[in-house]
A and B are shown apart, each in its own frame.
Chain A
């Protein structure tokens, strides 16, 4: 695998874009092959049967494959993840974030108005709230120091949602990419995907990176240049140049997840 790992990346933005001269031509032909692999695999798993409700695959379905519980799914960990992601959204447009916790909380409140997690934050006692604030601030500082300057000319898009219906709607692939830069309208591979996690990077992060690349390829029919994952807990970043091997591997991981879900149903 074409992976580069660094303990303290000086600049995520530069790593995302890489060197312009080394970008390969945009691959616009792999998407149909990947779709065939997935459709054939789904038919092999489901046969003629149809699930009661659509089988939904998310990045988290791949991240937790084989694990029984994931501490990052605890409510307060999810709140932390959401708030750090809000900080990323603000930073991606060049906003200055002086008070990460309160800025992120205000932004989140504007977006959702009401949710169980928001209620949870509102009902934290002073100590718990202070702990959460310190935690979010620490993650935000790591992110801010590592991110560097995301140029507006790269067309940064944050929280990019995607969904793909397969097997006549029996399977839905859903994805949210935290930050995306570049454009598919260029003749050279140009799009870089960025995933932010507040957990340390592990095997699941690799699968998530590949999954983002797969869904993005299916969505636009253009293979992205690069997919990266950054941990605001450790300051570590993994980056992967996307090729057909990466995408086929992810398609097989998705099929394994579908198989698992189908057996559970």
Chain B
């Protein structure tokens, strides 16, 4: 049975949700990893595939040609800015975003940015366009920082998203995570999303939960994963139970199956 819960995003509700998370985390064993790997191997793929919660929510539909825009760039820049604000005191969100953009531009200038990367895209923009990207990222960062400041338990911005390479299955799983809250032995993961949660938001959260557990060196699942939709003022949460982890793994494998079918249909 799923533990999906729906709450309003208010300081009181969010802290209640975090503090009521179970304190004894579920553990994924090597046997679980082997079983998952076998299932992915059974779904052959001609190319290396990358699966994330978004693809699970879209039922395996691939994105129609990714391109950078202020909206697609804001998460990378805002997360970096939030992390920077945590490290350096008295730095404003706008300055932190500006520094993030400067880092990306420096990478592009020194030749370290790949073609099509964020740094490469930013390096081709004029001053007013850079200003709009800054405004968009700073607004996103400020909105997320506001929610983060409501949290009474210690939290930090993870250094990166969760990536898990499924052994011998030519598959990488990517789990998004924006904040990690520490509760004694357990941890709660928060994801910030734009818009309002759709019908498939639950499966998406469960996939992120499973990937987060897989990437933990000891296979410890987060006590709870919370998807926060600040624009809608709601949050959804899933507990790190074995049922939800299994459900998340099933959705990921199902997405791989759909991708395989689409690949086959394209080839035909």
**Which of A93, A102, A218, A222 sits near B131, CB closer than 8 Å?**
A93
What is the distance, in angstroms, from B133's C-beta to the closest C-beta of chain A?
8
Say whether A33 faces chain B, with CB atoms less than 8 Å apart: no
> What sequence of 0s and 1s flags, for each residue 143-160 of chain B, a beta carbon within 8 Å of any chain A beta carbon?
101100110000000000
Distance between Cα atoms of A160 and B233 in the complex (Å):
12
Say whether B83 faces chain A, with CB atoms less than 8 Å apart: no
Say whether A126 faces chain B, with CB atoms less than 8 Å apart: no
What is the distance, in angstroms, from A147's C-beta to the closest C-beta of chain B?
14
* Cβ B128 vs Cβ A97 within 8 A: yes
Distance between Cα atoms of A132 and B84 in the complex (Å):
41
Say whether A144 faces chain B, with CB atoms less than 8 Å apart: no
Say whether A103 faces chain B, with CB atoms less than 8 Å apart: yes
Contact residues in A for B127 (Cβ distance below 8 Å): 95, 103
Distance between Cα atoms of A22 and B203 in the complex (Å):
47
> What sequence of 0s and 1s flags, for each residue 128-139 of chain B, a beta carbon within 8 Å of any chain A beta carbon?
110111111011
**Which of B125, B133, B143, B149 sits near A157, CB closer than 8 Å?**
B143
Q: Using a CB-CB cutoff of 8 Å, which residues 124-160 of chain A contact chain B?
A: 152-153, 155-160
Say whether A164 faces chain B, with CB atoms less than 8 Å apart: yes
**Which of B126, B143, B233 sits near A106, CB closer than 8 Å?**
B126
Say whether A188 faces chain B, with CB atoms less than 8 Å apart: no
Say whether A116 faces chain B, with CB atoms less than 8 Å apart: no
**Which of B69, B95, B134, B150 sits near A111, CB closer than 8 Å?**
B69
Say whether B180 faces chain A, with CB atoms less than 8 Å apart: no
Contact residues in A for B11 (Cβ distance below 8 Å): 28, 184-185, 221-222
* Cβ B131 vs Cβ A90 within 8 A: yes
Contact residues in B for A107 (Cβ distance below 8 Å): 128-129, 131-132
What total of chain B residues lie within 8 Å of the partner, measured CB to CB? 39
* Cβ A160 vs Cβ B94 within 8 A: no
**Which of A97, A160, A163, A185 sits near B139, CB closer than 8 Å?**
A160
Contact residues in B for A221 (Cβ distance below 8 Å): 8-13, 233
Contact residues in A for B196 (Cβ distance below 8 Å): 163, 165
* Cβ B69 vs Cβ A92 within 8 A: no
**Which of A93, A162, A184 sits near B231, CB closer than 8 Å?**
A162
Q: Tell me if A's interface is mostly helix, strand, loop or mixed.
A: mixed
Q: Tell me if B's interface is mostly helix, strand, loop or mixed.
A: helix
Distance between Cα atoms of A31 and B143 in the complex (Å):
19
* Cβ A161 vs Cβ B93 within 8 A: no
What is the distance, in angstroms, from A141's C-beta to the closest C-beta of chain B?
16
Contact residues in B for A152 (Cβ distance below 8 Å): 92-95
Say whether A220 faces chain B, with CB atoms less than 8 Å apart: yes
Distance between Cα atoms of A238 and B132 in the complex (Å):
27
Say whether B232 faces chain A, with CB atoms less than 8 Å apart: yes
Say whether A113 faces chain B, with CB atoms less than 8 Å apart: yes
* Cβ B93 vs Cβ A155 within 8 A: yes
Most buried by A among B70, B92, B131, B146: B131
What is the distance, in angstroms, from B86's C-beta to the closest C-beta of chain A?
15
* Cβ B69 vs Cβ A219 within 8 A: no
* Cβ B143 vs Cβ A95 within 8 A: no
Distance between Cα atoms of A221 and B233 in the complex (Å):
8
Say whether B64 faces chain A, with CB atoms less than 8 Å apart: no
Which residues of B are interface residues toward A (Cβ below 8 A)? 8-13, 69-71, 92-95, 125-129, 131-136, 138-139, 142-143, 145-146, 149-150, 194-196, 230-233
26 pairs of residues in contact across A and B, judged by CB atoms under 8 Å: A28-B10, A31-B10, A90-B132, A90-B135, A93-B138, A95-B127, A95-B131, A95-B134, A102-B128, A103-B127, A106-B126, A106-B128, A107-B131, A152-B94, A157-B139, A160-B143, A161-B231, A162-B232, A163-B196, A164-B232, A164-B233, A165-B196, A165-B232, A183-B146, A219-B231, A221-B233
Q: Lowest 3 CB-CB distances: which A-B pairs, in order?
A: A221-B10, A152-B92, A103-B128
Which residues of A are interface residues toward B (Cβ below 8 A)? 28, 31, 86, 89-90, 92-95, 97, 102-104, 106-107, 110-111, 113, 152-153, 155-165, 183-185, 218-222
